[in-house]
Amino acid sequence: MGANWYNTAPNNLTAILSDNFPEVDGEQVIVALKVLAADINQGYDQINNWVVTRVDDKRVYTMKELIAAVENPDGDEFVTFSNEAGEEVVLDRKNAIGSRDEILQTYRIPSDRSPDLQPQSTR
């Protein structure tokens, strides 16, 4: 893409950049670039470039908040991701967390998150 990335990037993502007025300090745009096919997310693997705005009906502003919402031990049986249009991805929370290592291994991904989002005990 290089210098021409703005013209070749998906329109829904470049629109976010042009209208980027954060609601809170440190707000991040959370994008599911590609849902990796796995048993746990069957039927959702065609999703790409999907902006996540809510988890379990709570607005999330950062990846740190998203991770905390997903890994919430007091959360419901299912975790629900939503976008601005109200579309939802619903996964079994326990099975999703339990499938993490297998998905990482299948797609040869070294970690499920960047070093700055790792739990304090593993840094």
Mean pLDDT, the chain, rounded, equals: 87
CATH number at residue 70: 3.20.190.20
Q: Give the whole-angstrom CA distance, residue 88 versus residue 81.
A: 5
pTM: 0.81
Q: Evaluate whether residue 44 is within a structural domain.
A: yes
Q: What CA–CA distance (Å, rounded) separates 93 from 32? A: 17
81-108 pLDDT, tens digit each: 999 999 999 999 999 999 999 999 999 9
> Strand 30-34 relative to strand 48-52: parallel, antiparallel, unpaired?
antiparallel
- Is 2 among the domain residues? no
- Is residue 64 domain-resident? yes
Residue 109 in tokens: 């991904």
For residue range 44-67, what is the model confidence (pLDDT) as tens digits? 988 988 999 999 999 999 999 999
Domain with 103 in it: 29-122
Q: Would the pLDDT of 1 be above 70?
A: no
Q: Is residue 17 part of a domain?
A: no
How much is the pLDDT for 121?
A: 66
- Establish if 18 belongs to a structural domain: no
Pairwise CA distance, residues 92 & 47, whole Å: 18
Q: Domain tally for the chain? A: 1
Region label for 31, one of left (φ > 0), alpha (ψ between -120 and 50) or beta (otherwise): beta
Closest C-alpha among 112, 41, 52, 59 to residue 81: 52
Confidence of residue 26 (pLDDT cuts 50, 70, 90): confident
Could you say which DSSP state residue 34 is in? E
Domain assignment of residue 6, yes or no: no
Is 118 inside any structural domain? yes
